[in-house]
Structure 1
């Protein structure tokens, strides 16, 4: 049976089938769910490349599109500061070869550059684009969970466990309560999330996307796939943790916390409280998502690679991708030279 490709700006009537195919994938990602994709800013110029057999959706790609010198430049939908990961094309498990072949043929139909960052390491997309350059750009940190939170805590280091227990006792004695936010209070919790982040300069780039984040948090809560956890003292929220539940996995996304000295370690304790809740509600994996920040090693022992796949078709597409890679290489070289100069400067002053 033949497959056809349809390009559209939204999933429309195919949304439910799309979500079912995401669920059927080896590692379901919240960043491929229709509620996430539908919450993003239309200015991202969404492009869904759908593979159909008649009216039946077989799979596809969720992209955003811009034009550079007449060439389509296609990246993952929602990419950038929102940092989606565990991505891939979507495909019916029984028709994966058809989906890959259809997308390969579509890609070769025009001058295009494809730049997909955040793909899981065994992504089907690796087979779909001839001549693609694949690099490892980041990792995710994860850990198996059981129904007993004590098993998770027993697998942590003695010093980390001791510090967490001590911090929890101190914070609870100071009147801090840790809980999962009831759905009806999520919007006010997000207001607190914004306020806690607003005092930190390093969080301002993320807050430029506050409207998108608010929409997908509320949509995800309605879908039963976003949980918000909070730490409260005297009716004031002092920490907010936003995370995803997709399949049987608990994925922590963003944490905002008070910077008051008295509230030190509140973020660590809130994360541990959320892990306890995940265990008790039957989730079987903790995933801290993109990034290898040192604190994540205390919570987890396993890592997965995240890949970036870049490919080009047509003379214009290949020229544009080559130019982009040359610019990146030049910036990298200049960065190294700058670091060496700063190091020599510090030594001469020391």
Structure 2
């Protein structure tokens, strides 16, 4: 039961003001790397106002206190958009695709921190230093305002999500909450045989048994792992730069074959992960793996490690070896090794690709929250965005039904132009 002590929120625009909270931040983050202080600070250093894409962005971290007690941290940044105004998003958003984002707080405070965060943002939109039972210290950010929040990658069952929805509706915010792609987790059994026996339907089970018999124990198939030896219990390759280069090359080759530029075409994406890996590989929070067939790399995987969970964060496959099903072979190899290493969960993260269900994973729903305070400028901006969203959906449905637009079918690039 939370007592009636007053709530206060302090706004921070500099990570240096929060260095003393790093230990508490990481303790409350409950170990998913996307929520950790070092992940989010590194993201801000790479993707913040020093980058060309976010020159007009500012840090906006809310430190929430209940009386004198630190109750939680809300790690946001704000970015100016010529149509939507000042938009508040989670640190770690965008192409890095961080999952499980949200307020950082102990279980007893999670709902309260979600509620207080919305009240504080409401007060900032009104230009007030107090609203209801919440006092706001904006001395570090005197010109801060909020026209809209755009919060992606939150678990639908996060207690803060429901608190945010209820409080936003109470304060008459315009609100749009909708599911996004799920993240997918596989509960690992005790043995490899139990895992294969659990696969459904029977056609999938037969296929994976066949791949397992034909390749997983074949001497020409070799799995290499770069990481902290104590985590895996076996000697690991220590040249992570070579492993990284294999991952980048295979990812880019496959994406180019599919007509996509690939994530590593982004210099920021590569810089961010190189910096993360220099910290996470020695500490056992990350690993790089690649699979060789007859001496040729055919698949690679970038793994994040969180307690008893292995997260398959990013991958690449060799397009010259597609007949071997390199992606499936890599997933099966890693799942088998994760069981042997003593992990309990294999997390395939966000994305509703069919192979995740075939591997036996189960979905965890994620949501995206967009909302705007009831002030006139914020409300008309939100209405404009909502109209544009409905128009895009209508155009997609009409295109899917091959409806003729004035005698000319809309091409993909025309729909994309409207979508942007």
* Range of TM-score over shorter length: 0.7 to 0.9
Unaligned runs of 5+ in 1: 346-350
The structure whose residues are more often strand, as a share, is 1
> Does the 8 A contact of 2:220 with 2:295 survive in 1?
no
> Of 9, 26, 29, which aligns to 1:22?
29
2:9 corresponds in structure 1 to 4
1:302/1:186 CA distance change after superposition, 3 Å: same
Is 1:176 aligned with 2:221? yes
Q: Distance in 2 between matches of 1:4 and 1:335?
A: 43
2:184 corresponds in structure 1 to 141
1:113 corresponds in structure 2 to 148
> Does the 8 A contact of 2:225 with 2:288 survive in 1?
yes
Is 1:127 aligned with 2:141? no
CA-CA distance at 1:187 after TM superposition: 2.5
Unaligned runs of 5+ in 2: 126-145, 170-174, 229-237, 408-420
Count of residues in correspondence between the two structures: 341
How do 1:249-328 and structure 2 match up within 5 A? 249-261=309-321, 264-313=324-373, 314-328=375-389
> Does the 8 A contact of 1:120 with 1:307 survive in 2?
yes
> Which protein is bigger by CA-based radius of gyration?
2
CA-CA distance at 1:293 after TM superposition: 0.8
1:263/1:16 CA distance change after superposition, 3 Å: farther
CA-CA distance at 1:100 after TM superposition: 3.0
Higher relative contact order, chain-length normalized (CA < 8 Å, sep 6+): 1
Q: Distance in 2 between matches of 1:18 and 1:162?
A: 46
CA-CA distance at 1:284 after TM superposition: 1.7
1:131-178, Cα deviation, whole Å (9 max, x unpaired): 332111121222211332322222114443443344353476572301
1:172-201, Cα deviation, whole Å (9 max, x unpaired): 657230132245322221111111122232
> Does the 8 A contact of 1:146 with 1:282 survive in 2?
no
1:290/1:191 CA distance change after superposition, 3 Å: same
Is 1:196 aligned with 2:250? yes
> Of 32, 48, 53, which aligns to 2:61?
48
2:36 corresponds in structure 1 to 33
Q: TM-score, normalised by structure 2?
A: 0.73
CA-CA distance at 1:19 after TM superposition: 0.8
1:348 corresponds in structure 2 to none
Q: Distance in 2 between matches of 1:342 and 1:9?
A: 52
Q: Distance in 2 between matches of 1:163 and 1:327?
A: 45
Could you say what the CA RMSD is over the residues aligned between the two structures, in angstroms?
2.8
